[in-house]
Chain A
Amino acid sequence: MIPPAFDYHRPADLPAAVALLSEHGEDARLIAGGHSLIPMMKLRMTAFGHLIDLQGVAALRGIEVGATVRIGAMTTQHEILTHAGLAEAAPILAEAARQIADPQVRYMGTLGGNVANGDPGNDMPGLMQCLDATYHLAGPDGERTVAARAFYEAAYVTARAEDEILTAVSFARPAGGGAYEKQKRKIGDYATAAAAVQIAMEGGRVTAASVAMTNLSDVPVWSEAAGAALVGSACDEEAVAAAVAAMLADIDPASDNRGPVEFKRHVAGVILRRAIARAADRAEGGQA
């Protein structure tokens, strides 16, 4: 398991990182925590001349919690899990992070790496669809933002240009209650199906709802229709069934070693029902 050779760079700030990426173009790759990239390199499924390690770029770290939540790209899953302010403002993040891989991987794995590499199995892209997050990118021509819902084009194909670095993720502090529900075969596996749900309620009625699904298509799926099916209802059986039906019309799972298409569609429905129930319960209890 010896990966191909490369030249190693550890830039100290963002301009230096962007300059290295521009200089080496397609022959360079960025590394954050490395827990997606290094396994691919060991399998010789990817090779390149220059590895640009972002660990020295302090501007990519940190969590800011206000009306908007902003999380630096190099923030690890472990940091997300243990951040008190984030736990209060958007507990759905820690709930999702807890279900990613295992402790050792969460110490290294980053939010930026998870959302940027475009693996449909990753959990944070689905959650960011649900929260209508914004991705911040820096390149040689400056900075720009892309909506998470417009970022994913196909498996491993995203709106990030070759010479850009994803620097942060931001989203409005979610209202109501949220839940991230994931079914996986074992610790460390990707989801057979996972659902991110955020619901706001007033007087027993849903005033806003957002539903997104993970690993049930070659991109994360935000099901606008599933959310709409819940709005105005009391999250009763009829509304939940309508939301599940709407979600099933939006996903496009493929058969693989996690099961045939029929099984995945079945699991997606079960998972979404659980997520809606928990999110609604938390929304009524006033807990985010």
Chain B
Amino acid sequence: MSKMHLKLTVNGQAVETLAEPRELLIHVLRERLDITGPHIGCETSHCGACTVDMDGKSVKACTVFAAQAQGAEITTVEGLAGPDGMHVLQQMFREHHGLQCGYCTPGMITRAWRLLQETPRPTEEEVRHGMAGNLCRCTGYQNIVKAILAASDAMAAQKEAAE
């Protein structure tokens, strides 16, 4: 089967690569584009370590064919930090110890980033429901939930200060 010219926008940059249609988006990102923030955990659509943002949706990049992503806008954890340093979600994961081994963290933060855009002031229950597609085998989730709620508070305060 022949390769296709795959055109994507990844973290704001237009990129082009050759890939077989059957390649999984996570393999294209990691192996062809050297974007290794999103991890491969279970590779069976369960764990969420490979979560990236595709056209405004959180998706598991292990369950999207390269061909399906043709023309898509992708954001990975690498795209979240700004010129002033880490994204507030990243800061809060550090401050609240929202990780131990760190393997699930890029997926967690990328998913939480979309969640907070859709629901800027979530309840704890909404955070837990919204993060249900991301598994962490270290922390028991308490600090992950705390970090996301703290990021929500910090983002609201930032917004208020800007207004």
Contacts and interface: CB of A to CB of B under 8 A. Distances in A.
Contacts of B24: 1, 3
Contact of A8 (B44, B64, B67, B130): B67
Contacts of B57: 78, 104, 107-108
A188 interface: yes
Contacts of A5: 1, 20-22
A84 interface: no
A260 interface: no
Contacts of B111: 103-104
B61 to A, nearest CB: 10
A10 interface: yes
B132 A187 contact: yes
Interface residues of A, number: 30
Contacts of B58: 103-104, 107
Given A51-B21, A104-B111, A10 B59 contact: no
A3 B20 CA distance: 11
Interface string B1-40: 1001000000000000000111010000000000000000
A254 interface: no
Contacts of B51: 104
A26 to B, nearest CB: 18
A44 to B, nearest CB: 12
Contact of A39 (B44, B68, B70): B44
Interface in B125-153: 129-133
A75 B4 CA distance: 27
A35 interface: yes
A105 B61 CA distance: 11
Contacts of A98: 129
A202 interface: no
Interface in A18-39: 31, 34-35, 38-39
B57 to A, nearest CB: 4
Nearest to B44: A39
Interface string B51-79: 10000011110111101101000000000
A39 B45 contact: yes
A104 B115 CA distance: 11
B62 A8 contact: no
Interface string A102-113: 111101100000
Interface in A37-58: 38-39, 41-42, 51, 53, 55
B68 A34 contact: yes
Given A8-B67, A51-B21, A102 B133 contact: yes
A67 interface: no
A34 B133 contact: no
Contact of B68 (A3, A55, A102): A55
Nearest to B58: A104
B59 A188 contact: no
A1 B62 contact: yes
A187 B46 CA distance: 9
Contacts of A41: 22
A35 B20 contact: no
Given A34-B64, A53-B67, A55-B68, A102 B132 contact: yes
A135 B132 CA distance: 31
Contact of A103 (B22, B44, B132): B132
Nearest to A101: B133
A42 B132 contact: no
A108 B22 contact: no
Nearest to A2: B22
A4 interface: yes
Given A3-B24, A35-B45, 8 more contacts: A5-B20, A6-B1, A34-B63, A38-B45, A38-B64, A51-B67, A55-B68, A108-B63
Interface of A: 1-8, 10, 31, 34-35, 38-39, 41-42, 51, 53, 55, 78, 98, 101-105, 107-108, 187-188
